[in-house]
Chain A
């Protein structure tokens, strides 16, 4: 017999099961957050306790507040600069026909297929020569150009009626003013989605900061966390509750933001895929 999904009781049971499955799915992360509030002794002994000491340790002893700041600065600047650069290019690709335009657009789209890892060694050398390793600039500059954002925004802008541009031109606006006063306001949802996309991918970026940063002061959260777990400064048995506190600090901004902006995130992703 199939459960009768139309009856309210069957529905209720089904919903409870689905929610339980959801909790189960997230249980490793939920448990890790819970564990971050345990003392190591209590955790290994298997009894319960509540403490903020792991967070204090992560901040005071292992500099995670600094890493958090670094991640915020780097992701923030990459997002703002990346959006500015991508929006301008997207506008040109959407609105102008110009010699070389198609070729340039194809070259931008091609980068979607190119994993950043291929450029790892040359970029390292470029920034080494420029003396920009171990600096915020070294983290930020290679991440600014997002072919995906440019492509995505171009598709979006193409959907905006040209009549709006033309009305603005009639009023004497120049191309930049049209972009700033007409296109950008209308494209806000798309720009916001892309901004989130850029922020999250930069926030979670690992391999580049791993090779580009040697100074502990400039670690991002990702590198700091991997190092805390892998290189294990104490070189004794892993202090899991401490590691989990660091991990929670690392996922928290995204976790909190997620609740607020899930819809925009989803839109960004699906528009890119389906359109």
Chain B
């Protein structure tokens, strides 16, 4: 009898924590998304789909979707391409390459708030590193974070700077799993470097690429800290990504209904993405051991 209970006892703490802090809250979010509440009224008025209607007809929501999409569309391929290129160079086990990997990897484990603060200085109009460089070269100062045309790219830059090392490490692991004979065979075939890269390396790191694709897309839909510290979603909503909007609606405007509706929409979207990923990867990836 006890023997039968054993596995349940082992998983109980984890499942209990997940239930209290993840599963039940998701249901609570769904419930709250049909209500109107501001933390103060004693009642949580049932309003049906009103919060969803308001969101879907609001400019802010579509702006956040747009900003987040632009972020993803630019930052994901940028991260993957740079990471693969650098990883193929750093895959060799030399001292320099190890040092370099360390340097590139460091930001991904460093505090995002610190990075955001440091880059706020780097891009600040009056005292920043970049503008000092531009001034030294004789160019005008640029208002990086005050210009709606530029601010999102600054955020993308900082996020890429932070995450690149992670992608590189994953790619290196993927590359190291490729049997060297395959390279040798390709070289014997008279393959040139680019050719080898396209015909051998690229297909073989496909599983890694898919993995990183999913990770970085999910990341893109969760960016908050950099935005919160550097721009607060501004200027004029130019960096108001979805999670920033969630925080703003929930914890500065205290529209709990709309905040929850936004959370539910984000949840549904990410689940859809997960299902899609399972299908795509299920079909295409058969290299895995």
Residues of A within 8 A of B (CB): 15, 18-19, 21-23, 25-29, 31-32, 44, 84-86, 88-89, 91-93, 95-96, 98, 101, 104, 107-108, 110-111, 113-115, 117-123, 125-126, 141-142, 144-145, 147, 150, 175, 179, 200, 203-204, 206-207, 210-211, 221-222, 225-226, 229-230, 240, 243-244, 247, 250-251, 254-255, 258, 262, 265-266, 269-270, 273-274
Interface residue? B201 (CB, 8 A): no
Chain A residues, CB < 8 A from B224: 117, 206-207
Contact of B111 among A96, A150, A203 (CB under 8 A): A203
Stretch in contact with the other chain, from B51-59, B67-75, B136-144, B244-252 = B244-252
Cβ contact within 8 Å between A120 and B246: yes
- Hey, what's the 0/1 contact readout for B108-125 against A, CB within 8 Å counting as 1? 011111111111111000
Instruction: Looking at the assembled complex, report how far the CB atom of A42 sits from the nearest CB atom of chain B, in whole angstroms.
Output: 13
Given contacts A101-B7, A206-B225, contact A114 B270 (CB under 8 A): yes
Distance between Cα atoms of A22 and B90 in the complex (Å)? 12
Q: Are A108 and B14 in contact (CB under 8 A)?
A: yes
Query: Could you jot down 25 A-B contacts, CB within 8 Å?
Result: A19-B100, A31-B129, A85-B14, A88-B11, A88-B14, A96-B6, A96-B7, A114-B26, A114-B270, A118-B264, A179-B10, A204-B113, A206-B112, A206-B225, A210-B228, A226-B116, A226-B228, A247-B118, A250-B113, A254-B110, A258-B102, A265-B109, A270-B170, A273-B174, A274-B174
Instruction: Tell me if B96 is interfacial: C-beta within 8 Å of chain A.
Output: yes
B contact residues around A84 at 8 Å (CB) = 13
Q: Min CB distance, B79 to chain A, in Å? A: 14
Q: A110-B274, A258-B106 are in contact. List 8 more A-B contacts (CB 8 A).
A: A19-B99, A21-B100, A25-B104, A104-B15, A107-B23, A118-B266, A207-B247, A225-B114
Number of residue pairs across A and B with beta carbons under 8 Å? 238
Residue in B114, B173, B177 whose CB lies within 8 Å of A250: B114
Chain A residue contacts of B120, Cβ below 8 A: 229
In the assembled complex, the Cα of A118 lies from the Cα of B58 at a distance in Å of 20
Q: Are B14 and A270 in contact (CB under 8 A)?
A: no
CA distance A96 to B127 in the complex (A): 60
Contact A18 B100 (CB under 8 A): yes
Report how many residues on chain B are interfacial, defined by Cβ distance under 8 Å: 83
Q: Provided the pairs A88-B11, A122-B29, A240-B121 are in contact, do residues A145 and B21 lie with their beta carbons within 8 angstroms?
A: yes
Question: Which residue among B29, B110, B129 has the maximum number of chain A CB atoms within 10 Å of its CB?
Answer: B110
Verify A230–B28 contact, CB threshold 8 A. no
For the complex formed, measure the closest distance between the CB of B216 and the CB atoms of chain A, giving whole angstroms: 12
CB of B260 within 8 Å of the partner chain: yes
**Quick check: is B233 within 8 A (CB to CB) of the other chain?**
no
B4 at the A interface (CB under 8 A): yes
- Considering the chains assembled together, what is the distance between the CA atoms of A204 and B250 in angstroms? 22
Residues B16-35 near A (CB distance < 8 A)? 17-18, 20-26, 28-29, 32
Contact A266 B112 (CB under 8 A): no
Task: Write out the residue numbers on chain A whose beta carbons fall within 8 Å of the beta carbon of B273.
Answer: 113
The answer on a CB contact under 8 Å between B15 and A244 is no
Q: Which B residues between 226 and 264 are near A, CB-CB below 8 angstroms?
A: 228-229, 243, 246-247, 250-251, 256, 259-260, 263-264
Identify the closest chain A residue to B126 (Cβ). Answer: A237
Smallest beta-carbon distance A190→chain B, Å: 15
Query: Shortest distance in angstroms between B80's beta carbon and chain A's nearest beta carbon?
Result: 13
* B170 engages A226 (CB within 8 Å): no
- Report chain B residues within 8 Å CB of A98: 4, 7-8
Which B residues touch A244, using CB under 8 A? 117-118, 121
Tell me which of A121, A222, A229, A247 has the highest count of chain B C-beta atoms within 10 A of its own C-beta: A121
Query: Cβ of B11 and Cβ of A92 under 8 Å apart?
Result: yes
Give the chain A neighbours of B173 by CB distance below 8 A: 270, 273-274
B266 to chain A, nearest CB (A): 6
Whole-angstrom CA separation of A204 from B14 in the bound complex:
22
Known contacts A22-B100, A107-B23: A118-B7 contact under CB 8 Å: no
Closest CB-CB distance, A264 to chain B, in whole Å? Answer: 11
Q: Which residue of the partner chain B has the closest CB to A23?
A: B103
Q: Tell which of B14, B23, B24, B222 touches A86, judged by Cβ atoms closer than 8 Å.
A: B14
Interface hub of A126, A210, A266 (most chain B Cβ within 10 A): A266
Question: Which residue of chain B lies nearest to A93 when distances are taken between CB atoms in the complex?
Answer: B11
Q: Given A117-B222, A119-B26, is A89 in contact with B13 using a C-beta cutoff of 8 Å? A: yes
Let me know if B17 and A145 touch, CB within 8 A: yes
